[in-house]
Amino acid sequence: MESWERSRRRWQHAFFTSWLVLTSAGPLAEAGQALPLALVAGLAAWYAVWFVLRTPPPDDVPVPYVLGGGLLWLGLLAVDSSFLVVALCVLVPYCMDAVGVGLVAVVSCTGGWLWHRFHATGSVTWSEVTTTALMAVSGAIAVGYISAMARQSDERKRLIDQLHAAQEARAAAERQAGVAAERQRLARDIHDSLTQGFASVVMLLEAAQATLPDNKHLTQALRAARENLAESRRVVGALRPGPLDECGLPEALRRLSGRLADETGVDAHTVITGTPRPLEAQVQAELLRVAQEAVANVRRHARARQVTLTLSYMEDLIVLDVHDDGDGFDPGRTAPGHGLSIMRERMEQLGGTLLVESAPGAGTTVVAGLPAVAPSGVR
C-alpha cells in the first residue's frame, strides 16, 4: 500500500509538471512579459510547497493551497485568456486517480485544442472536430483500460493480503495446538511419574507412622510428602485445566471459589462484570491458572476470612482480580513466589500483565490482564 501511494504521488507530480509546461509554454511565448512567467513560476512553487516539500504530504487538498493557486491562475487569466486551461494544474490533487486524471486530461486537451484553433483562425472545420472527437474517444478507452487494470491489481493485492492473513491465522492455530499437546504430554508425564511417586511415598510413610507414631522426623517427612503430592496434582491441573473443557471461564472460576469455600470455610465467591463473550482457549487457560495459583497461595499463607474472584470483560481487555483480606505482605521486601513469577512470565508472553498489590495486615490482590482475543472466526 505504501509503494502504491508513493507511485501515485510521483504520477501526480509528473502530471502537474507536464500539464503546466504544455498549457503555459505557448501563451508565455506570445505574451513576452515577465509577469506571466513569474505567475507560472509562483504556481509551480506553490504546488511544491504543499505537495513536494512536505513530509508526509497532506492526505486531503488544503483549502489555502486552492485559494492561493486560484489567485495565481486568475492573475494569469487577467494577463492573457490563453492561460484558461492552466486552471487544471490547481485541480490536479483533486483528481489523482486513473479515471479522474485521464478524463480531465482528455476533455481539457481536446477542448483546449479546439478553443485555441478557433481563437487563432476564427473557425473550426467538421474534419477537425471529428478528428478531435476520435482522439478523445481513444483517450477515454485507454483511460478505461488503465483504470480496469488498476482495479484488477487492487483486487489481486486484497486477495493476497487475505491469503497472508489466513496463513498467519492457521500458523497461530497450529502453534496453539502444539502448545496444548505439549502441555497434555507434560501433564501425563508428571502424573505418571512424580504424582504417582509421591502417592507411593505417602502410603509408605503412613504405614511407617502406624508402627512409629511418635517419630518427629517421620511426621515431618509425611507432611512434606503430602504437600508435594498436592503440589504435583495442582501442576497437573494447571497444565491441563479440565474445568475449561466442561464449561467456560466464568463457571470454572465459580467452581474454584466454591471448592475453596467448601474445603476451608472461607467466604469465597466469584463476581463477573461486563458482558461475557467467547475468548481464545489460551487466554482462558492462563487466567484460570492465575486464579488457581492465587487461591493456592491463599490456602497456604493468607489466613483469610474472605476471598473474591472478579472477572471483568472490557472492550478489548479481560481482567481477573483475586482479592483476599488475609495477612498480606510487603512486596518491596518479600521476593515473589515461584508460582507468581511463572504466571507473570506467561502473562507477558501473551501481551498481558500481572500485578500483585499487598501490605502487611491489609490483604493481597492479584490483578491479571490479557487482550480479549476471540477464537478464530468469532467476532
Domain with 320 in it: what CATH number? 3.30.565.10
Rg of the chain (C-alpha set): 38
pLDDT confidence of residue 322: 92
Query: Are both 14 and 152 inside the same structural domain?
Result: yes
Query: Are both 133 and 270 inside the same structural domain?
Result: no
Q: Are strands 267-273 and 306-313 parallel, antiparallel or unpaired?
A: parallel
Q: pTM of the full predicted structure?
A: 0.42
Confidence of residue 377 (pLDDT cuts 50, 70, 90): very low
Give burial (CB, 10 Å; 0-12/13-18/19+) of 248.
Answer: middle
pLDDT confidence of residue 321: 93
Q: C-alpha angle with apex 66: 61 to 68, nearest 5 degrees?
A: 135
Query: Are both 6 and 136 inside the same structural domain?
Result: yes
Q: Rounded to an integer, what distance in angstroms lies between the CA atom of residue 88 and that of residue 20?
A: 9
Structural domain tally of the chain?
A: 2
List alpha helices for the chain, DSSP H: 2-31, 34-51, 63-79, 87-91, 98-121, 126-190, 196-211, 216-239, 242-246, 249-264, 281-297, 338-349
Neighbours of 198 (CB within 10 A): 20
**Average pLDDT in the 165-174 region?**
78
Q: Rounded to an integer, what distance in angstroms lies between the CA atom of residue 208 and that of residue 166?
A: 61
Residue type, 254: R
Choosing from 146, 163, 180, the residue where a domain stops is 163
Q: Rounded to an integer, what distance in angstroms lies between the CA atom of residue 349 and that of residue 345?
A: 6
Query: Are both 147 and 43 inside the same structural domain?
Result: yes
Query: Are both 134 and 269 inside the same structural domain?
Result: no
Query: Are both 155 and 30 inside the same structural domain?
Result: yes
pLDDT in tens, 187-214: 777 777 777 788 888 888 888 888 887 8
* 158 occurs within a structural domain: yes
pLDDT in tens, 17-58: 777 777 777 777 766 678 888 888 888 888 888 888 877 777
* 92 occurs within a structural domain: yes
Own/partner pairs, 95-100, CB within 8 angstroms, 24+ separation: 96/8, 96/11, 96/12, 96/15, 97/147, 98/143, 98/146, 98/147, 98/150, 99/143, 99/144, 99/147
Confidence of residue 379 (pLDDT cuts 50, 70, 90): very low
Query: Are both 296 and 154 inside the same structural domain?
Result: no
Residue type, 221: A
Query: Are both 252 and 126 inside the same structural domain?
Result: no
Query: How many residues are given for the chain?
Result: 379
Query: Are both 158 and 257 inside the same structural domain?
Result: no
Q: Report the Cα 233 to chain-centroid distance in Å.
A: 38
**Average pLDDT in the 182-189 region?**
76
> Which residue's entry shows cell 482528455?
106
* 288 occurs within a structural domain: yes
* 219 occurs within a structural domain: no
* 194 occurs within a structural domain: no
* 106 occurs within a structural domain: yes
* 209 occurs within a structural domain: no
Choosing from 115, 146, 163, the residue where a domain stops is 163
* 126 occurs within a structural domain: yes
Query: Are both 294 and 155 inside the same structural domain?
Result: no
CA distances (Å), origin 151, targets 4, 74, 93, 100: 12, 37, 20, 14
Choosing from 106, 136, 163, the residue where a domain stops is 163
Joined grid coordinates for residue 32:
513576452
Judge if the upstream peptide bond of residue 375 is cis by omega within 30 degrees of 0: no
Give burial (CB, 10 Å; 0-12/13-18/19+) of 379.
Answer: exposed
Q: b/e string for 336-368 if b means 16 or more Cβ within 10 A?
A: eeebbeebbebbeeeebebebebeeeebbbbbb
Joined grid coordinates for residue 155:
483486487
Written as one string, the DSSP assignment of 300-334 is III--SEEEEEEEE-SSEEEEEEEE-S----TTTS
Q: Domain residues for 303?
A: 248-379
Confidence of residue 217 (pLDDT cuts 50, 70, 90): confident
For residues 248 and 208, is the Cβ–Cβ distance under 8 A?
no
Query: Are both 272 and 368 inside the same structural domain?
Result: yes
Which residues lie across from 357 on neighbouring strands? 365
**Average pLDDT in the 249-258 region?**
89
